[in-house]
Chain A
Amino acid sequence: MTDDIVDRIVEVTPELDALRRRRPVTREQLQASFDALFRPVTVEHVSQAERELVAAFATGLAGAEDSTAVFYAARAQDADPQRTRVVLAEAADAAVRGPFGAYTELGLQEENTEGERYVPSDAVIAVIGERLAAALAHTHLLVFRPREASGADLGRLLDAGWSTDGIVTLSQLVSFLAFQQRVVTGLRVLAAAGRTSASETEISEEEEAA
């Protein structure tokens, strides 16, 4: 029985479990990162509902059927069903392809690419509030066009009522999810690609012992 979130989302197999346990610190600290963000010491700067709603939006941008997105959508639904409905609809509408965007670096201008930038409508802001709407806009920026992020974007968060401490936590939250979601995706693909070499070694050792 495990309370490891990645194991749970991946639907860990014995083979994958054996592989993950060869990197115990990575496994534990990935989980500790989740705990720090979702079971925080304080919610003074970012509320629990904000964490859940932003997570549902951030992971939902990879597609509503993505297993990590499904996990966070359910959590948000429990925390704040009314705003979750709006946030998930926004994620579905705002899902584009990334990374894209214009570089600040003059030597990289030929690599600039275009895509759709997300701006919450007045109607959405009226329902979810200016503070959460600003967080969703920033999340979309970080997920799809991090190369375009600038000080002005943080100024917009401050204007919408986010503190400096809150912006650090929000940035960590969205960035951590980009990591966790990719670990899940990678491990699921690896498990689907067939038996891991780690499990083969272990099974042969067990057979020897028997």
Chain B
Amino acid sequence: MTTAQTVLRHDDAPHPHAFTRGEVGWVPHLEPLAEEELTERHYDGLVDAARAKNDYFRLLARDPEVLKARTLVDKDIFYNAAEGLPRADRELAATAASRRNGCVFCASVHSRFAAHHSKRVDDVDLLLDEGVEADLGARWNAIVAASVALTDTPNAFGEDDIVRLRAAGLDDLEVADVIHGAAFFNWANRLMLSIGRPVAPA
């Protein structure tokens, strides 16, 4: 059996202790494509050539067409902030979904973004430390609650979540942005948690 068809071990890479805003690393359970194996089709899937340096993306490049669409939908949901929900609130939705599912890696990345864009470092840390029941004020509580309800199975997202988001000042484009942000992390969390694992910050 070749290395490409075996599970990789990283016994020397320490697991994180808990949720953190620190720089959590990630190691793949399966062999990513080697950089020298990448063809034009793979680079098209990677979208940004710089992502060829990243194990996660080179592993996902084994199915380039899905990776490409995943990457473009991800970028639009989070970075296309000319109108609609402010970036900080989108990152909050991502962090809340990741906190609920238990993705320490995703939560670390997106809690850093949420803290950076909102400047509400203490509230972001409260979400990581106490969990999705933490009291973050009416607007953030509404976004976290909606993200969590949408993450749960069977789905708990209902009209009361919409009412609460509207009461917090969100219009329907912004509500749709919360829905897409939280929903997308139900995609990202499952990949990050299953085809590799987090590594404690150095």
Contact = CB atoms under 8 A, between A and B. Distances in A.
Interface string A84-95: 000000000001
Given A26-B77, A151-B29, A153-B194, A179 B153 contact: no
B60 A168 contact: yes
Most chain B CB atoms below 10 A, which of A23, A106, A143: A23
A141 to B, nearest CB: 8
Interface string B144-160: 00000011111101110
A183 interface: yes
A165 B62 contact: yes
B113 interface: no
A82 interface: no
B179 A98 contact: no
A179 B180 CA distance: 8
Interface string B37-50: 00000000000000
Contact of B179 (A22, A158, A186): A186
A193 B102 CA distance: 30
Interface in B14-32: 15-19, 29-31
Given A99-B151, A106-B17, A182 B73 contact: no
Nearest to B67: A172
Interface in B136-185: 150-155, 157-159, 161-163, 171-173, 175-176, 179-180, 182-184
Given A32-B69, A37-B66, A197-B173, A176 B187 contact: yes
Contact of B186 (A106, A141, A178, A197): A178
13 contacts: A19-B176, A32-B73, A63-B154, A66-B154, A66-B155, A99-B102, A104-B197, A142-B190, A154-B194, A164-B62, A169-B63, A189-B157, A197-B173
Interface of A: 19-20, 22-23, 25-26, 29-30, 32-33, 35-37, 40-41, 61-63, 66, 95, 97-99, 101, 103-108, 111, 141-144, 146-147, 149-155, 158, 163-165, 167-169, 171-172, 174-176, 178-183, 185-187, 189-190, 192-193, 196-198
B4 interface: yes
B72 interface: yes
B102 A151 contact: no
A168 B60 CA distance: 6
B52 to A, nearest CB: 16
Judged by DSSP, the binding face of B is: helix
A109 to B, nearest CB: 10
Size category of the binding interface on chain B: 35 or more
A40 B65 contact: yes
Given A158-B5, A189-B162, A151 B197 contact: yes
Contact of A108 (B18, B69, B184): B18
Contacts of A178: 183, 186-187, 190
B185 to A, nearest CB: 8
Contacts of B127: none
Contacts of B76: 23, 25-26, 29
